[in-house]
Structures are given as structure tokens and as C-alpha cells.
Amino acid sequence: MTVLDRYVARIFAVSLFVSFTFVVGLYIAVHFFGHLDDLDGAERAFATRGIGLMQGICRYYAINMPFIFAKLGPFSALLAAMWTVQKMSKDQEITAAQVAGVSLHRLMAPVLLVGVLLSLGLWAIRQEMLPRIAVPHQELEWLMRGKTVMVIDAKPLLVRDSAGNRFSIQSYDPTSKTARGVRFRSQDLSRMLDFAEMRYDDATSRWEKIEPGADPQPIGIDTDLAPRDIEIDARGLRFLTSDELDELSRRMPGRLDLELLRQTRFTFPFTTPILLLIGLALVLRSDRQSIYAAWGLALLLSLVYIGAENVLYGLAERDGLLSPFLAAWTPIVVFGTVGAMAFQDL
């Protein structure tokens, strides 16, 4: 790495720090003031855990940081790249480098390299860290909203045991390991049972049905469904480890949301480099009258990118009109091609 490479990388690294600080601060401010009405309930909920309101809020936002980084990291990198080019352009450093025979592609190579490293770091956070802290994060989320009872409201939640038997669950209380509004359907549909409430007994490792005025009774179903299979939904599918995702995919083949998640684990690292290619190509074009106009256009294109992702994901996951593979990779191929061609034309 040359002296010029280190200089550009250092400017970009400083811009990244400033960008992350700005974006995270803005996100926390908007989120906090948007939940002012919940503070009374949050204070009572935190008190049930022996935590003061201020301490609870600090814990909540501290555990939220990795989630914020993973969510907003690509756009923070885009902003940092814009600021880097803006500073170098203002100081006439880009012009000086070109006069010295350094092409724009070579000059921006350190920015792209740091962007790739950042993307891998964000992928590692999303892949390894978020699943490990998702459960305490969810608990603090409940407390922040003033809820003291940790109930997973399913819509409903469909889970299967290893034999392929299906359980449809309306709500689940992970504290007492109680499921409510349960519908059981065997794999061959020869047995169909409904339970208003059933609870997992740790002593026998069996599910028991709970009926008013009666002692708990075995549900009469031979199943290896465990509370963990239900509680995993508290994290949301986005925050599953690879092993958990593979296990769910094995038990529930054909679920489009699971397959889409598997594909996005491969596509996520490409987001940051693609946004950088598009953003840098826009602000470095000599025919742009204002760097701020290019900056705004780059941000607009990033919103278009996310919008396109959401539409395609919805077509695959919700409507089933597109395969998860195509939904996950189409934005990468289209925007990646546009970004690479635009950057090459500099």
C-alpha cells in the first residue's frame, strides 16, 4: 500500500467514524422521541426487574448498537465515501492526483477496499453476534414498551416436529413455557386436535394440556417438539444462527421465508460495495455541477435499492410470485452491474 493509499484510507476511516456517529445519533434521537409516551410504562416494567428507568434505557440502546450497525452500516459507508470525495475535491487533492497520473479508479481503490472489509465485518456481526444477543434484546424491547409479561404473539406461528407434524400456535409465554390457541395436524392429516392451552413439563419433557378446573393431562401426542422450537421465533427469522436456520429448513421444507433468508446471508456482504460503486461514480463524474446534487442522488439511489429489495422480497416471501433465489440476487446483479459500468466509465 502506497503513501497515497494510506492517506485516502485514513480519510475514509475518519469519515466512517463521523458517519456512524451521526447516523446512530440521529437514529437514537428519532427512536427515543418517538417512544416518549412509553416511558411511564417502561419505568414500571424495568422496576419489576430491579432496574431504574435511565439504567434500563442505557441497556436497551447499548444492546441495540450491533443491530443498528448491521442495519445502517451500508448507508453510513456511502455517506462516508461522499464526505471523503467532498473533502479531497475541496482541497484540490483529486485534481492534483490526476495531474500526477493517478487515475480515479486507482485513487478510490482504498475506499473500495475498506468498504469490502467493513462489509465483511457487518456480515460477521449479523451472522454471529445478533443471534447470540437477540433473546435479551427482545426482552429489553418488551420492557421498553412497558410489557412485563414476555408473550410471543404469533400470527399464527407454524412449527413442525421432526416427524413433520404441524403445530399452529397463536401465542406463547416463554416464562411458563405455555402455548395458547394450538392446532395440531399430523403429517398425513389422520389426526387433528385443538388445545386452548398446553404447557411443557420439564420433569417429563412432555407437553400437557391445561383445562379450567382440571389437572394437567398429557396431550396424547408423541412429538419431540421442544420449547426452543417455538421460542426461536422471538428473535425473528433474521436473527437465527446457521445451525438453527438449517434445522428449521429441514423441519419445514418449502417455506419461502426460510429459503429467502438463506439466500440473503450470501447477498448481504455485496450491498456496501455496490452502494460505494454507485455513489463514487456519481460524485466523481466531471460533468456534475455540484457535489451535493450527486450526493443527494446517491442517497436517492440507495433508497431505490432498498425499495427494490423490499418489493422483490415481498413477491417471493409473501406472494410466492418469485423464487427466493431470484428475489435475493436480482438487486445484486442489476445494481452491481450498473455500479460497475458507471465506475468503469470514469
pLDDT confidence of 119, banded at 50, 70, 90?
very high
Q: What is the pLDDT of residues 198-252, one digit of tens each?
A: 999 988 889 999 888 888 888 888 888 888 777 765 555 567 777 777 777 777 6
Which of the four pLDDT bands, split at 50, 70 and 90, describes residue 298?
Answer: low
**Domain ranges, residue 224:** 152-238
pLDDT band (50, 70, 90) for residue 330: very high
145 with 164, same domain? no
Looking at residue 111, its pLDDT comes to 94
Tell me how far apart the alpha carbons of residues 240 and 130 are, in angstroms, rounded to a whole number.
Answer: 8
Are the C-beta atoms of 4 and 107 separated by less than 8 Å? yes
- The three grid cell numbers given for residue 57, joined into one nine-digit string: 434505557
Same domain for 209 and 94: no
- pLDDT above 80 for 149: no
Summarised one tens digit per residue, pLDDT across range 55-68 is 999 999 999 999 99
14 and 57 part of one domain: yes
Rounded-to-5 percentages of helix, strand, coil across the chain? 65, 10, 20
CA dihedral 299, 301, 303, 309 (to 10 degrees): -150
Domain boundary among the residues 150, 173, 199 is at 150
- Same domain membership, residue 260 and residue 227: no
Residue 216 belongs to a domain = yes
Note every long-range contact of 90-99, with CB atoms under 8 Å and residues 24 or more positions apart, other chains counting.
94/284, 97/4
Whether residue 267 lies inside any domain: the answer is yes
Kindly state whether residues 139 and 215 are assigned to the same domain. Answer: no
Rounded mean pLDDT of 133-146? Answer: 82
Task: With respect to residue 24, please indicate whether it lies within any of the assigned structural domains.
Answer: yes
Check whether residue 24 and residue 119 sit in a common domain. yes
Whether the pLDDT of residue 285 is over 80: the answer is no
Do 19 and 112 reside in the same domain of the chain?
yes
Residue 290 banded pLDDT, cuts 50, 70, 90: low
**Count of structural domains, the chain:** 3
SS3 264: helix
**Within-domain flag for 246:** no
300 and 275, same domain (yes or no): yes
Q: Is residue 244 part of a domain?
A: no
CA of 239: how far to CAs of 32, 70, 126, in Å? 23, 11, 8
Look at residue 238 in the predicted model and tell me its pLDDT. Answer: 66
DSSP 33-87: HHTGGGHHHHHHHHHTTT--HHHHHHHHHHHHHHHHHHHHHHHHHHHHHHHHHHH
CA angle (35 as vertex; 60, 28 as ends), nearest 5: 55
Whether 245 is in a domain gets the answer no
Answer with the one of 90, 124, 150 that is the final residue of a domain.
Answer: 150
pLDDT at 271: 93
Distance CA 109, CA 262 (A): 30
Q: Of residues 42 and 241, which shows the higher confidence score? A: 42
Q: What average pLDDT score do residues 162-168 get?
A: 86
Are 1 and 78 members of one domain? yes
Looking at the fold, whether 43 and 115 belong to one and the same domain comes out as: yes
- Say what the pTM is: 0.78
Last residue of a domain, one of 150, 173, 196: 150
Looking at the domain assignment, is residue 249 inside a domain?
Answer: no
Q: Quickly state the pLDDT bin for 150 (edges 50, 70, 90).
A: low
